[in-house]
Amino acid sequence: MADTSPDNIPFAISAYTPERLRGALRQMYLIRKFEEGAEDSYTRGLIHGTMHLSIGQEASAVGACIGLSETDKITSTHRGHGHSIAKGADVGRMFAEFFGKETGYCKGRGGSMHIADVGKGNLGANGIVGGGLPIAVGAALSAKRLETGAVTVCFFGDGANNEGAFHEALNMAAIWKLPVIFLCENNKYGMSMSTDRSTAVASIADRAVAYAMAGASVDGNDFSAVSEASEAAIARARAGEGPSLIEAVTYRWRGHSKSDRNRYRSKEEIAEWMACDPIPRMVQMLSDHGIIGAGDAARIEAEAEAEIVQGIAFAKESPAPALSDVTRDVYTKPAA
Amino acid sequence: MADTSPDNIPFAISAYTPERLRGALRQMYLIRKFEEGAEDSYTRGLIHGTMHLSIGQEASAVGACIGLSETDKITSTHRGHGHSIAKGADVGRMFAEFFGKETGYCKGRGGSMHIADVGKGNLGANGIVGGGLPIAVGAALSAKRLETGAVTVCFFGDGANNEGAFHEALNMAAIWKLPVIFLCENNKYGMSMSTDRSTAVASIADRAVAYAMAGASVDGNDFSAVSEASEAAIARARAGEGPSLIEAVTYRWRGHSKSDRNRYRSKEEIAEWMACDPIPRMVQMLSDHGIIGAGDAARIEAEAEAEIVQGIAFAKESPAPALSDVTRDVYTKPAA
Amino acid sequence: MNVAADIEARELSYAEAIREAMDVALASDERVILMGEDIGVYGGAFQVTGDLIDTYGPDRVIDTPISELGGAGVAVGAALTGLRPIFEFQFSDFATLAMEQIVNQAAKVRYMLGGAVSVPVVMRFPAGSGTGAAAQHSQSLEAWFAHVPGLKVVQPSTPHDAKGLLLAALEDPDPVMIFEHKLLYKMRGAVPEGHYTVPIGKAEIRREGVDVSIVATSIMVHKVLEAAEMLAGEGIEAEVIDLRTVRPLDRETVLASVRKTSRLVCVYEAVKTLGIGAEISAMVAESDAFDYLDAPIVRLGGAECPIPYNPELEKAAVPQVEDIIEAVRAQVKGRL
Amino acid sequence: MNVAADIEARELSYAEAIREAMDVALASDERVILMGEDIGVYGGAFQVTGDLIDTYGPDRVIDTPISELGGAGVAVGAALTGLRPIFEFQFSDFATLAMEQIVNQAAKVRYMLGGAVSVPVVMRFPAGSGTGAAAQHSQSLEAWFAHVPGLKVVQPSTPHDAKGLLLAALEDPDPVMIFEHKLLYKMRGAVPEGHYTVPIGKAEIRREGVDVSIVATSIMVHKVLEAAEMLAGEGIEAEVIDLRTVRPLDRETVLASVRKTSRLVCVYEAVKTLGIGAEISAMVAESDAFDYLDAPIVRLGGAECPIPYNPELEKAAVPQVEDIIEAVRAQVKGRL
Ligand SMILES: Cc1ncc(C[n+]2csc(CCOP(=O)(O)OP(=O)(O)O)c2C)c(N)n1
Ligand SMILES: Cc1ncc(C[n+]2csc(CCOP(=O)(O)OP(=O)(O)O)c2C)c(N)n1
Ligand SMILES: [Mg+2]
Ligand SMILES: [Mg+2]
């Protein structure tokens, strides 16, 4: 039984309205169902190419985005479905992109690794590990110069933290005190390489010191913990106090991509982490604090499921791009 | 009057024979005179292109190299004359390179920014800021795999510490525990940009934390301090305990290169640092401890001067490369 | 043929013309910012930005740390979110550190996102040999960029075009790469005041002639014009085309000239193999102008070696006026 | 024409052939090491290294962190100091992060040092489209490398050549870049056991013919051979040349063929503009073979756009068998 004495009220419960909290749960379900739907679609041959599923990481995506408005930006990664949904993307258009359709977010040109939703502030997933880090700093530079008040959350993985781009981006964000939050989803592996083997420090957050930046490491499967650290960072950013580095420790249940034979981690390790599923933990917290009642979670889950079914149907029915359009949109203004 | 009680004997005095110490002083003079000779030659139109002088930084070059043997390696920078001399290069061949002659270290193909002396373990200066960092790690990987026992000292500047290459190189050296020493000559500026403006941390050595690496910041104008930190790092490297980061705080008296108008620092700042000249400090230490007597310093200086005069003469008289050889040495083995 | 020839024009140097373009842009558009290493109080390595920081301050004339990948990426991110950055690489050679952001991000993001965004970033690349800075500071890499759909690539050869193309680039919604030859910075020429543009994608006929078409880029335009005057003395009238834009090519101007003269020589400084002359030659050889050709298409490009340091070797590594004269003579020899 | 056709050969896949070459090299030369992301227990993103780690252990089959610039630089440094590294880029697209070390260091250091060193490094680049991985994972960038003196660049099209060229590259004292097409990895073909080499710099005539010469690279060789069979049914006998090495070019083989057939078509997957076909075409157009040409030189290259995600668009972006047939038909149409 959770402790519900005032002192022990989780941050999220005190910070957000019941409606927003239920919305967050809904997004977490939607992410889970989206990934399952994607997996299923892949098996049915509806999806070309590869995909990177974020099952198990729903709390970090949703916890990091709950404090953002549509004018705030995110940059995302190859494992970006959760980020997109957390930033408000429509799952129908996401599936359409996955299926290579003209109605997809990228009109079928980008696929899973490039889903973006610029209107909602999602500047896009990225196929290049670390590719979004400097871009996020640039978005924060725009916000500062144009005084939009926008904050940028830059998602990246533990693997990306060894790219030179990480170092250069964090240093520039720090010296210029830019409103950007570096949110590292440390799922313990960059493809097959564990952080133990790839990274000289035990916690990615330890690297904040090298940029005189606020750094925090949180349980990435705890929605409340992620949102708490994120809100603090957002507040710092909006107050002109510069960037923050947050490490959300989490785990991906599935392989890195469809071609992963999972030879680098044990069944036991996976099982342990599956026992720490962020969704039941969220459900538990919300019901402990009376935000949802009996049956609510199941209903929200079913609604999410229905949204996914509808999204897949929309995507399937959507038209494919015309082959004659292959060189469209290379340039905004084709030259003279 | 220096304190000569046993407790206060500087590291260098207790660690090195009088002969080696006098050799170190000789090298420091040689560097100073080389740079002055280069400057003078430039004024006389003997040198094409640009040059980066290290006047004021002699203690860090010599202090970092005194503990190395010829099988140990260094990688150097655009400001590399001091490193070359400290690693045993012949000033005649250095000038010859500067003058673009066939007898130069690079046969006139490389010039000042590429002087190398592979036989002595100097893998070369580098025109790319940060370019030598991963190469040094590679040399250390060779040493470890081939069990040569060699240590590699990687010189780089404060400006280079913001390159992605710095981050990637230090991380790899750390995870693989390689015998490499990252020696940052922090002369306060990367071209016109002060470390205050370019670098999020006050001391480059603070960044060692991000690689769980031994880090030290020392007075780079104090030969003994640099050699002490270097010997400790060399010992760690030879013992298989991995890499170290040493920051030697120093100053370049001259402009960044010949085209520098010095608009970014004050005359007062320069004067302050000139008062802290590493060469008189070395002379003082050696005479305080009886390593040199009256007149020795002047004699050593005169010898260095003579060596430079001779080197310049050799370089002047040397033949230029044949124009027909312009594409020689692009490949070791020109293809079939 | 100068589009602004009728406007009263002063003489400015190529560097001053670029600075004036930036000044015009900074004054008229709050979204324009400059980024680069030492472009502030130092005025830029080649004094191109000069004193612009005095007028526009450090928030709009931004010194970046030595972080080319990150810096370029920040510019890309800023361009995606409302600013109009002009990013200066200190030497074009350092673009090797930033190809990821230029090629994978800036050039492709619009296409990958199905047209949802534009990337109005301008990048400036001081390029070419002749300054005695050797192999890592003298490259001509424009052909790499011209191989990349999504980029526009220009190479102004005169102060007039340097200003007009930069202003055109700033108005262009797509990423424009400007390759400036370092040896041109001091060249003077007529430059109209205020705002004007030179169209991206249009070549310029610098000299009319009937015996041979010579297509040249950047500094080679001047060498070719000099050669053309000498050749005129021998009765050979060369038509000299300044390509100006290397992506996209102005096919029509080149083809019309070849149809007229039946002979083609391409002159460029970059390494001959796969330099821009390869594309010009291949473009002509696959066009209907092929039928007009009376002689093989000759390319004069850089030697197949890195740029050497020795000044005579350095000259031998790129086409000189005499080489052009000789090549053209040989080309038209058999014309009767 | 297979140099080893008389040796008893088993069928292996292209990936297995490469693995076998690495196995042979690791077994016979202690200096050989493999480096790359996930090449250890994971077996490589495309399972090329497979289980080599089981035989040679993690000290010789080295998983690198996600640090392409640093990793490539470590390989360069190791090659300079006695090791023989084979560095795998997980996708050739990520070479954009490492161009500095490849182009400024590996390619130039021998020349810049006047021949004092060699850089026996081999780099492997899984390249090309067709896997549904979109614009940042599908590029064909070999032309960039072929533009760089100091590098040797090969593109094996068969399992036999993949093994033989890799073993040749390992024996070569200079940096060799191997571009492997991802769609070829599963292709099977005869591969001799043990050690043999395929010479770098020699093209191979895959089919003799008299009506037209088709020069193709990598996977296009197979599409061209398929097209050639269909064309033979129409009475058109194409000579098919597999270029194999793109730097240096085997001029003689190409020119001899053109002198024979008087017609040339170049087929390659890279973006058409400034792809290798530009160089082939220009090389022929400036040679004495020009006089033998009876028709314009046709190039079939990739479309002028990034590689799109949708599978049909993706196919439309690169030459297909039907495109080749059509182009050749048009080319020989006027032959009577
Ligand atoms: C520059 C670059 N290098 C390598 C890859 C291949 N790759 C894609 S995802 C990945 C692992 C990334 O690990 P991490 O950053 O931890 O993210 P995760 O997959 O765990 O979410 C790798 C190596 C890439 N896409 N880009
Ligand atoms: C990658 C790269 N970027 C920029 C430059 C131009 N540049 C040469 S030296 C230098 C300053 C380097 O500063 P630091 O590392 O502190 O060395 P210092 O000159 O102070 O010795 C710069 C910007 C370069 N050579 N290479
Ligand atoms: Mg990870
Ligand atoms: Mg410095």
**Alpha carbons A4 and C20: distance in angstroms, whole number:** 67
Torsion over CA: A198, A200, A205, A211 (sign) = negative
Asked if the structure places residue B6 within a domain, the reply is no
What pLDDT digit, counting tens, does each position of D88-124 carry? 999 999 999 999 999 999 999 999 999 999 999 999 9
Q: Is C207 exposed, middle or buried (0-12, 13-18, 19+ CB in 10 A)?
A: middle
D147 counts as catalytic? no
Residue type, C119: V
> Structure pTM?
0.98
Strand partners, C239: C213
Task: Give the HSE-up count for residue C318: Cα atoms under 13 Å, Cβ half-sphere.
Answer: 27
Q: Please choose, from the candidates A43, A52, A28, the residue with its C-alpha nearest in 3D space to the C-alpha of residue A112.
A: A52
Q: What is the pLDDT of residue B6?
A: 59
C83 close contact with A: CB closer than 8 A: yes
Q: Is the pLDDT of residue C28 over 80?
A: yes
Q: How far is B26 from chain A (nearest CA, A)?
A: 38
C68 counts as catalytic? yes
Strand order, beta sheet including A152-157: A73-75, A152-157, A180-186, A244-249, A214-219
**Alpha carbons D192 and C46: distance in angstroms, whole number:** 57
DSSP 8-state code for residue A117:
B
How much is the average pLDDT of D43-71?
Answer: 98
- DSSP-based helix, strand, coil % in chain B, nearest 5: 50, 10, 40
DSSP string, D45-59: TTSSSTTHHHHH-TT
**Alpha carbons B186 and B183: distance in angstroms, whole number:** 9
Q: Is the pLDDT of residue C321 over 60?
A: yes
Mutate to test the pocket of ligand 1, among D38, D64, D90, D91 (most ligand atoms within 8 A of CB): D90
Pick the ligand that lies closest to the CA of residue A81: 1
The CATH number of whichever domain residue B259 belongs to comes to 3.40.50.970
DSSP 8-state code for residue A260:
-
D304 close contact with B: CB closer than 8 A: no
Both tokens assigned to C298: 């000759």
**Alpha carbons A50 and D308: distance in angstroms, whole number:** 14
Ramachandran quadrant class, C92 (left: phi over 0; alpha: psi -120 to 50; beta: rest): alpha
DSSP 8-state code for residue D241:
E
Asked if the structure places residue B334 within a domain, the reply is no
For D205, other C-beta atoms within 10 Å of its C-beta total 15
Q: Please choose, from the candidates D28, D90, D92, D91, the residue with its C-alpha nearest in 3D space to the C-alpha of residue D60.
A: D28
**Alpha carbons A208 and A215: distance in angstroms, whole number:** 5
Asked if the structure places residue A336 within a domain, the reply is no
Strand partners, A73: A152
- Spatial neighbors of A126 by CB under 8 A, at least 6 apart, are A75, A76, A77, A78, A80, A113, A114, A132, A135, C105, D136
**DSSP H helices in chain D:** 14-28, 52-56, 68-80, 99, 109-112, 142-146, 159-171, 219-233, 251-261, 276-285, 311-316, 321-333
Q: Please choose, from the candidates C247, C238, C224, the residue with its C-alpha nearest in 3D space to the C-alpha of residue C174.
A: C247
- Domains C11-192 and C204-332 equal at CATH topology level: yes
Whether domain D11-192 has CATH 3.40.50.970:
yes
**Alpha carbons B24 and B227: distance in angstroms, whole number:** 11
For residue B325, the chain C residue with the least C-alpha distance is C313
Asked if the structure places residue A148 within a domain, the reply is yes
Q: Please choose, from the candidates A48, A34, A79, the residue with its C-alpha nearest in 3D space to the C-alpha of residue A306.
A: A34
What is the number of structural domains in chain B?
1
Asked if the structure places residue A8 within a domain, the reply is no
Q: Is B119 exposed, middle or buried (0-12, 13-18, 19+ CB in 10 A)?
A: exposed
Asked whether the beta carbons of residue B198 and residue A212 sit closer than 8 angstroms, the reply is no
Lookup result for tokens 């842009």: C25
**DSSP H helices in B7-88:** 11-15, 18-43, 58-65, 81-86
Boundaries of domain holding A271: 16-325
Q: What is the pLDDT of residue C240?
A: 98
What pLDDT digit, counting tens, does each position of D133-182 carry? 999 999 999 999 999 999 999 999 999 999 999 999 999 999 999 999 99
**Alpha carbons D177 and D184: distance in angstroms, whole number:** 17
SS3 of residue D247 by DSSP:
strand
Q: What is the pLDDT of residue D47?
A: 97
Mutate to test the pocket of ligand 2, among B78, B79, B186, B254 (most ligand atoms within 8 A of CB): B78
DSSP 8-state code for residue C106:
I
Asked if the structure places residue A31 within a domain, the reply is yes
Q: Which of B47, B48, B50, B184 to mutate to test the interface with C (most CBs of C within 10 A)?
A: B48
Q: Structural domain boundaries of chain C?
A: 11-192, 204-332
Q: How confident is the model at residue D86 (pLDDT cuts 50, 70, 90)?
A: very high
Q: How confident is the model at residue B336 (pLDDT cuts 50, 70, 90)?
A: low
Number of helices (H), then strands (E), in chain C? 12, 14
Report whether residue B56 contacts ligand 2, using a CB cutoff of 6 Å. no
What pLDDT digit, counting tens, does each position of D244-257 carry? 999 999 999 999 99
Contact between A212 and B200 (Cβ < 8 Å):
yes
- Spatial neighbors of D169 by CB under 8 A, at least 6 apart, are D122, D152, D154, D176, D178, D200
Out of D37, D137, D160, D222, which one is annotated catalytic? D137
**Alpha carbons D324 and B107: distance in angstroms, whole number:** 50
- Domain D204-332, CATH number (from 1.10.1760.20, 3.40.50.920, 3.30.50.10, 3.40.30.10): 3.40.50.920
Both tokens assigned to B209: 């934390």
How far does residue A195's CA lie from ligand 3's centre (Å)?
8
Strands D188-192 and D9-13: antiparallel
How far does residue B316's CA lie from ligand 4's centre (Å)?
31
Q: What is the pLDDT of residue C334?
A: 67
Asked if the structure places residue A4 within a domain, the reply is no
State the ipTM, two decimals: 0.98
Q: What is the mean pLDDT of chain D?
A: 96
pLDDT in single tens digits along all 336 residues of chain A: 444 455 689 999 999 999 999 999 999 999 999 999 999 999 999 998 889 999 999 999 999 999 999 999 999 999 999 999 999 999 999 999 999 999 999 999 999 999 999 999 999 999 999 999 999 999 999 999 999 999 999 999 999 999 999 999 999 999 999 999 999 999 999 999 999 999 999 999 999 999 999 999 999 999 999 999 999 999 999 999 999 999 999 999 999 998 898 999 999 999 999 999 999 999 999 999 999 999 999 999 999 999 999 999 999 999 999 999 999 999 999 875
Lookup result for tokens 């439309």: D316
Residue A13 CA: distances (Å) to CA of A2, A25, A82, B148, C206: 13, 13, 22, 61, 73
